[in-house]
Structure 1
Amino acid sequence: MITDSSPYFSVKHDFKVYLTAWPDNAPIPTEGELTLMLPLGLQLISDVKSLEADCLLQLRHLDDEAKTVVEYLKLQSKKVDLVLQHVLEREAHDGELHQGKFFGGSGIRIIGATQFDVGKQFKLTLHIKEELVALLCFAQVTATQVIEATDVEPQTGYLTELEFSVITDTDVEQLVKASLSVQQRQLKQRKLAKKAT
């Protein structure tokens, strides 16, 4: 049974994730080893996000007149992120593509035709396009359940929960910020829908 007992909440949002089964007899990489495994595109995105986070943190201490400059720099940063995401989408990816349905700072949930064994470790490449998130991490299957065919999901499949086992603090922070952003957008859409009715 899948529950919401993780330390970070998760939000419902579609995204792409590539799964590569990790050999059972191989040790799980450390956070340092994970960083060395990053492909060039993910390394670029990671470096850019780290640089912009440091820069924006320093700019927050400036007075009100600097807010226009900060907003302009955020726009420029978003443009760079979009270009990097576009380049990354064109790259070949390791692993099998799966449809992500929920994400948060503790893990993800995916839906698909494959049933995975609880305890199995996977290398994940995660892409949340709308939030400009692309990262590499490791996760372990903690639960799986059958999804019956409905009008919403026309085929029977499996909802699988994966909990992060190796992920950088920076990437957890990215996922938490992205989940809050998605939640805010969903709340605004609900308010607009209520006003329209």
Structure 2
Amino acid sequence: MNTAKVNNPTSTRDRRFLTLIAVLSVVVPVLVALLFFMPKAGGAKMDVSFLPPFYASINFLTAIALVVGYVNIKKGNIKVHRASMLTAFSLSAIFLVAYVVYHYFGERTEYGGEGALKYAYYFILLTHIVLAIVIVPLVLLSVYFGITGQLSRHRRISRWTFPIWLYVAVTGVLVYLLISPYYS
């Protein structure tokens, strides 16, 4: 047994955080999916109609923060890159809370469009949902590796994280714009 590896606190810390990231990567999407099968909060009346435009705005701001972070890392401005990416991460966390609250208390909205737009909507929605699940571990790993200074690991995972995260943020706005006429 390699005692250097066992006594290395970074290795132990990494294992703990990577385990937490793995657990969150499963638990978060499962809990969000369960929202669609759970009965609505019956007794609690809460007007959450303001949340879809709010979390669409959060997605828009996330996309901007991601692009600002990307441009700045290409320029070598690590400070602005880090601040932008932590802003995108924080906005995504706010989005998740707002999304959960809306889907727990709000009514489900069906898309009412027809023709080619209907197919485009469902394609965007499906790819958005699938990639929103995929992005959870990628974002958590990218943030963890960046914060802990594991820059080669950060760069390797962020090559995948950035385009997928940007796609999820932008398509989140598109999904809202396409379904917003059908909110009650």
Q: What is the TM-score when the length of structure 1 is the normalising length?
A: 0.33
Which has a greater percent of strand? Answer: 1
Q: What is the TM-score when the length of structure 2 is the normalising length?
A: 0.35
